[in-house]
Amino acid sequence: MSSRRGRARVIAALASAGLLAGCLLGPWNLTPQDQIAKVQLEVSALLVQGKAFDTLWIERPLTFANGYDSSLAFIDSSASSVNVIRTDVSPPETVTYRMSFRDTRVWLPDSARRDTVRPASHYRLEARIHWDAAREFPQAHEPRIDTLTAETYVQRHYAIRDTAWVPLEALHPSLSLGLPASVVNRALADTAGLQRLFDSLEAIRPLTRQGVNRDDLRKYLEGGLVMRPLAKGDTAFYIFDPAKVADPNPANPDPISRYSRQWRFVQDLDKRDFGGLALDYSYDTAGARILDPLTSSLGGPFGGRQNDTARLYQRGNTRHLGLTAKTEPGAAGYPDTVAWGNRTLDYTGRDAIHFYAVDSLYPEYQNASNPNFRFSLGGDGGGGGGRAPANNAVHFSNIRGGDGYFTAAAVDSFVVHLIAMKDTIPVPTLHAASIANDQKGNGP
C-alpha cells in the first residue's frame, strides 16, 4: 500500500475489507475433489561427513488394506540403477547402490568400495527405477520406469566448541536440588552468613574451581543467572530446583523455574552454506531415567498417580529431537549459539548430544511434511526448546520425479556425564517393566 497518498490507502483498505468479507461469506466449493494423488516413489537418504556412505531408502505408498511385506519386491533391481555422484571433482566419483536381499526398501552402497562423505563436497542422486506403480499393489500391476534426481552439499566447516556454558546450578549437587529459603535468607542477610554458605558449598564441591566467588553466589541467591564453562567430557548435575526466578529473556515477563534454565553451545560454522541444525541424543542404557520435575509436580493435583515404569522405557539408546531451520526469529545468538534445556536431558551417565548441520533443503522438506518435527534450538530463557507450532506450508521435496529427501550433513558432538541427585529409575528396571507389560498383552 503506497504511503504517498492517503486516498490510495483508504481505497486499498476498503478493497481489502471487501475481499475479506467475500472470504468469510463465501461462496465456497465444498465438493470433494475427484483428483487422485499420484503414486510415486519416496526417497530417504542422509549423507554424513566423515562417515561411510550408508543406507538409502526407496519406498512406495500402500493402501490401508495392504500391509508391507519386506520380502516382496516392487522394484526390478536387475533393470534399475541407483548412484550417488560427487560432482565437484574431475572426474566425478560414483558410489553405486544395490538392493538389500533382507529388505526390498533398502539400498546399500557397493561393499567393494567403502568411500566416505567428504567435507565441502557436492553430491547428486541419479536413479532409474523400473517398478510396479499399481495403486492396489500387489493385487494389481502397473509397470513403470521413473527417473529420480536430486542434489545436496556438505558444509565447508562445522564444529561444536569444546566448552559449553551452563547454569551454576548444573555444576554443584546442592544447588541442583535447590537451597531452603531459610538458608538463602540467612546468607543474604549479612556478609558473614554468605561466607558460611560459600564455605559449606565449597567443602562439598569446590565452587572456586568453576571461577565462582562470593559475589557470584550472591547473584545466584538473588535469582540472577550465573553461567560457567563446562568442557566436553566433564560432569554436570541435572537441575531439579523449582524455585522461581526471572527469565533472562526480556520478552517474557513471567518467572520460570530454575530447572527450566538452559545450556548454551557455541557453533563454529560457515554461514554461507549452513542450512539448519538437526539434533539427536544418545544415552547410557546402564544409567537411569530422570523423572521430569515439571511432570512430577503435576502428579499431586491429578491424584498423585504412580509413574508408569513400562511406558517410561524407551527402546534403543538414541532420541531424535528434530531440527531448527537456518534462521529462528526471536532467538538471540542463533545460529552461533544453540540453546539446550536442562529438562531435555533425560538420562544419567554418559550423554552424547549430536549436532548435524544440514543443507537448507532438508528443513524445508520436514517443515512441510511434518511441522511438529521442528524443534527450536535457539530460544531464549527457560522457555526455549519448545516444539514449533503446526503450519500450512506447501509440500516440498528436492527429489525430482518422486518424493522424500536427499540431504547431507556435517556432524559434531558434545559428551557430558550427567548425575541426578534424586527422582531416577534405572533403565534395566524400566526395561523389565516394559517386557512384563508386553507379556500381559497391554502393548508398548
- Name the average pLDDT for the chain: 83
**pLDDT > 60? residue 262:** yes
- How far apart are alpha carbons 440 and 442 in whole angstroms? 6
Cell of 256: 520460570
pLDDT greater at residue 32 or residue 135:
135
**pLDDT > 60? residue 22:** no
- What is the pLDDT at residue 111? 78
How far is C-alpha 209 from the geometric centre of its chain's CA atoms? 33
**pLDDT > 60? residue 33:** no
Go through the chain and tell me how many residues it has.
444
Residue type, 443: G
Of 96-105, 169-178, 268-277, 301-310, the poorest mean pLDDT is in 301-310
Interval 153-182: pLDDT, tens:
999 999 999 999 999 999 999 999 999 999
- How far apart are alpha carbons 125 and 95 in whole angstroms? 10
Q: Which residue is it, cell 497518498?
A: 5
Degrees to nearest 5, angle at CA 228 with 226 and 231: 160
Of 110-124, 195-209, 358-372, the poorest mean pLDDT is in 358-372
With the CA atoms of 239, 244, 246 and 248 taken in that order, what torsion angle do they form, in degrees rounded to the nearest 10? 20
In 190-294, DSSP assigns E strands to 227-231, 235-237, 244-245, 256-257, 262-269, 276-282, 288-290
In the chain, what percentage of residues exceed pLDDT 90?
Answer: 56
- How far apart are alpha carbons 260 and 239 in whole angstroms? 8
How confident is residue 400, by pLDDT bands cut at 50, 70 and 90? very high
Smallest CA-to-CA distance from 145 within 61, 40, 43, 38 is with 40
How confident is residue 365, by pLDDT bands cut at 50, 70 and 90? confident
- What is the pLDDT at residue 373? 57
- What is the pLDDT at residue 176? 98
**pLDDT > 50? residue 343:** yes
- How far apart are alpha carbons 356 and 409 in whole angstroms? 6
Query: For the chain, which residues make up each domain, given as ranges?
Result: 42-154, 160-166+226-396+409-439
Is residue 84 within 8 Å of 123, Cβ to Cβ? yes
**pLDDT > 90? residue 144:** yes
Interval 374-387: pLDDT, tens:
555 655 443 344 44
- What is the pLDDT at residue 393? 55
Interval 305-328: pLDDT, tens:
456 666 677 788 888 877 888 876
How confident is residue 389, by pLDDT bands cut at 50, 70 and 90? very low
Residue 23: left (phi > 0), alpha (psi -120 to 50), or beta? alpha
Q: What topology is assigned to 42-154 in CATH?
A: Immunoglobulin-like (2.60.40)
Q: Which residue is it, cell 499431586?
A: 300
pTM: 0.81
- What is the pLDDT at residue 24? 39
Judged on CB neighbours under 10 Å (0-12, 13-18, 19+), 230 is buried
DSSP code for 52? B
**pLDDT > 80? residue 297:** no
Cα radius of gyration rounded to whole Å, the chain = 27
pLDDT greater at residue 297 or residue 167:
167
Of 125-139, 149-163, 385-399, the poorest mean pLDDT is in 385-399
User: How many helices and strands, by DSSP H and E, does the chain display?
Assistant: 9, 21
Within 10 A of 193 (CB to CB), how many other CB atoms are there?
15
Tell me the mean pLDDT in the region 291-309.
64
- What is the pLDDT at residue 444? 52
- What is the pLDDT at residue 266? 95
- What is the pLDDT at residue 325? 84
Tell me the mean pLDDT in the region 81-93.
96
How confident is residue 68, by pLDDT bands cut at 50, 70 and 90? low
Q: Which residue is it, cell 553405486?
A: 96
Q: Which residue is it, cell 541435572?
A: 238
Is residue 289 within 8 Å of 430, Cβ to Cβ? yes
